[in-house]
């Protein structure tokens, strides 16, 4: 789907295909357009095969905290994100750019399927939660604290930077054989107040 200019902070537009809510294809409005933009975010696309056997799914429980040690991320609470009447998925407000959000239309982290978290790389106020995305590597761990007191631990198996015009909708939101996590942020240079790319972390429950 082709992105369109957005007047408020949004990661993108959701489309429906069958019973599946599909994807983000736009970008964070005004990200990096203030007086202190973060450096252009660029990562190397890389991947390893998914495990032959999926981990046992966890029961549903809302995410409460996000930890990515390699990126210096330890943040909570996790904000609920929903799709509005225009089909756009909300993102954490600029005032809470140091917190992640969870797409409530999908599964909770640890359940079977792709749980989706969203976090800013930067905003008009400067660097945000995922400002150290370039430090993240294949095999790094993402931990998601959950409301029931448990922790869902994921291992990153793929890192992808892609132009928003070519956002991999089905790959991000499509059905999976086991519990998966997708963490979405922005990257690339700023053009007209927007980052040109999305950076996507694909991780598998371990």
The two three-digit tokens of residue 190, written as one number:
């700023």
Closest-CA residue to 199 (of 168, 170, 177): 168
The two three-digit tokens of residue 17, written as one number:
């295909």
Dihedral pair phi/psi, residue 196, rounded to 5°: -80, -20
3-class secondary-structure state, position 126: strand
**pLDDT means over runs of 10, the chain (206 residues):** 30 38 37 63 87 93 98 97 76 93 96 96 91 96 98 98 90 94 92 87 98
Domains and CATH numbers, the chain: 10-40+59-205 (2.40.260.10)
Q: What does the pLDDT read at residue 164? A: 86
Asked if 106 and 21 touch (Cβ cutoff 8 Å), the reply is yes
Q: What does the pLDDT read at residue 91? A: 85
Q: What does the pLDDT read at residue 57? A: 97
Q: What does the pLDDT read at residue 11? A: 46
Q: What does the pLDDT read at residue 60? A: 98
Q: How far apart are the first and last CA of the chain?
A: 33
Q: Which residues of 29-47 are buried (b: 16+ CB within 10 A; e: fewer)?
A: bbbbbeeebbeebebeeee
Asked if 200 and 172 touch (Cβ cutoff 8 Å), the reply is yes
């Amino acid at each position: 789907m082709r992105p369109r200019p957005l007047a408020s902070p949004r990661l993108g537009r959701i489309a429906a295909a069958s019973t599946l809510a599909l994807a983000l294809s736009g970008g964070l409005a005004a990200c990096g357009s203030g007086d202190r933009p973060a450096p252009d975010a660029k990562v190397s696309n890389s991947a390893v095969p998914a495990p032959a056997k999926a981990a046992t799914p966890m029961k549903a429980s809302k995410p409460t905290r996000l930890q990515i040690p390699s990126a210096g991320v330890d943040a909570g609470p996790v904000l609920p994100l929903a799709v509005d009447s225009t089909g756009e998925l909300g993102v954490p407000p600029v005032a809470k750019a140091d917190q992640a959000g969870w797409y409530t239309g999908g599964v909770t982290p640890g359940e079977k399927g792709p749980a989706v978290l969203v976090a800013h790389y930067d905003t008009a106020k400067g660097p945000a939660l995922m400002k150290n995305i370039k430090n993240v590597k294949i095999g790094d761990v993402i931990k998601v604290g959950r409301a029931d007191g448990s922790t869902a631990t994921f291992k990153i198996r793929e890192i992808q930077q892609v132009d928003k015009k070519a956002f991999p909708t089905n790959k991000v939101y499509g059905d999976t054989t086991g519990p998966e996590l997708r963490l979405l942020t922005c990257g690339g240079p700023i053009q007209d107040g927007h980052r040109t790319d999305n950076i996507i972390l694909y991780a598998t429950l371990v």
